[in-house]
Amino acid sequence: MTLVLNDDDVAQVLTMKDCIAALEDAFREMGLGGVMNAPRRDSFMLASRPDAYYSFKTMEGGLESLGVVAQRINSDLITHPLIGGVTRRVKVPAAPGKRYVGLVFLYSSETLELLAIITDGHLQRMRVAGSTGVGVKYLARKDSCSAALLGSGWQAETAAWALASVRPITTIKVFSPNPEHRKSFAEKVGADLGIEVIPVEGAQEAVIGADIVATATNSAGAVVKGEWIEKGVHLTSIRVHELDEEAWRRSDLITFSGSGGPGAYFTYATQGFEASHRETERQGERAQLEDERFQRYRGKIHLLCDLLTDKVPQRTTPSQITLMNKNWGLGIEFASVAKLINDRARAAGIGKEIPTEWFSQTSHP
């Protein structure tokens, strides 16, 4: 049977602790060479709405130890509205019922079959935060008990879960531009985790005194200044620009979750297609900034998978500043988390079943 799982199913069976453990195993296997990783690729096409364009995103990865391969796709309609003077990238919920379409397909590398189809909403935010968690586990001081969180959205919530899963966090100071958002976020996450979550009025106020500084924003510019950072802090960002140049310069040890920079991103745009061009430029800027910083600080930058397999040193002193750049997603992250979800859901009898034979054939294709 092929299992079909939605975001609610995933939320029922996936804990952050298990998600981090699965990702840790996957990154270790990556360090040992037993994985397949095909980088993200985005393709664009015009849509009938003149202010939007269609984007199809795909990436694949597999783990030999688990015998699975996952492919994650996103079928998106994208706009670039001007919000508060800044051009934002906004996905339109154009699917019936005002919904989004993002799916993870899990295949067995032994029986070849399609094991599961999983909507990628909750999985995605668990995966990103889970990898942040792996970085925190290997780079942050063991006694880290306070954290700063920049951002109060959907991704920031799981980031808080991840921090609390791997370190004895008692206090999180959260800042985001909207006072209402950060207040309700603090109440919800504080109650969920049973720790103190305090909304503060500025990024600097959040960062000062924190053992761990995590960013999970949609900001177009830097939200953390390196001059605020104290000795011994662990920094963790999702997009490279969230931490300013000084933060990178001051860091003693920097880790990338994947190999980023130009080359990890391909686009095949239609001719003279402005929106696609804008998107390509935007992603290109991200890749370029990452590459510039990579070139400048390459002597202290290592891959997470090499850290986990003792090829490069982890934190050596309590005073080091460490940084993890949770950059471009990897197929193996989806493979490991999807496999975990699939196994747990089957054990719990959760999800909708489709005969696997619907997705195979007797003919040799």
Q: Which of residues 15-44 bind its own copies (CB under 8 A)?
A: 33-39, 41, 43-44
Query: How many CA atoms does the CB half-sphere of 152 hold within 13 Å?
Result: 27
Of 170-189, binders to its own copies (CB under 8 A) are none
Residues 6 or more apart whose CB falls under 8 angstroms from that of 225 comprise: 203, 204, 244, 246, 247
Task: Tell me how far apart the alpha carbons of residues 149 and 198 are, in angstroms, rounded to a whole number.
Answer: 10
Of 65-94, binders to its own copies (CB under 8 A) are 67, 69, 71, 73-77, 91, 93-94
Binding pattern for the stretch 266-305 against its own copies, x by CB under 8 A and - elsewhere: x-xxxxx---------------------------------
Q: Is 120 in the site for its own copies (CB under 8 A)?
A: yes
Q: Binding residue for its own copies (CB under 8 A) from 12, 79, 109, 314?
A: 109
**Distance spanning both ends of the chain, measured CA to CA:** 22
Taking the complex as a whole, how short is the minimal distance between the CB of residue 358 and its own copies, in angstroms? 5
Q: Is 360 in the site for its own copies (CB under 8 A)?
A: yes
Taking the complex as a whole, how short is the minimal distance between the CB of residue 162 and its own copies, in angstroms? 18
Number of residues forming the site for its own copies (CB under 8 A)? 77
Of 132-161, binders to its own copies (CB under 8 A) are 154
DSSP annotation of 58 reads E
Q: Is 95 in the site for its own copies (CB under 8 A)?
A: yes
Q: Binding residue for its own copies (CB under 8 A) from 84, 85, 98, 347?
A: 98
Q: Binding residue for its own copies (CB under 8 A) from 117, 214, 253, 308?
A: 117
Burial zone of 225 (CB within 10 Å; 0-12 exposed, 13-18 middle, 19+ buried): middle
Burial zone of 235 (CB within 10 Å; 0-12 exposed, 13-18 middle, 19+ buried): buried
The three-state (H, E, C) secondary structure of 206-256, written as one string:
HHCCCCEEEECCCCCCCCECHHHCCCCCEEEECCHHHECHHHHHHCCEEEE
Taking the complex as a whole, how short is the minimal distance between the CB of residue 49 and its own copies, in angstroms? 8
Q: Is 114 in the site for its own copies (CB under 8 A)?
A: yes
Neighbours of 17 (CB within 10 A): 15
Q: Binding residue for its own copies (CB under 8 A) from 23, 27, 107, 172?
A: 107
DSSP annotation of 120 reads S
Of 335-354, binders to its own copies (CB under 8 A) are 352, 354
Q: Binding residue for its own copies (CB under 8 A) from 12, 17, 56, 208?
A: 56
Q: Binding residue for its own copies (CB under 8 A) from 97, 221, 299, 313?
A: 97
Neighbours of 95 (CB within 10 A): 12
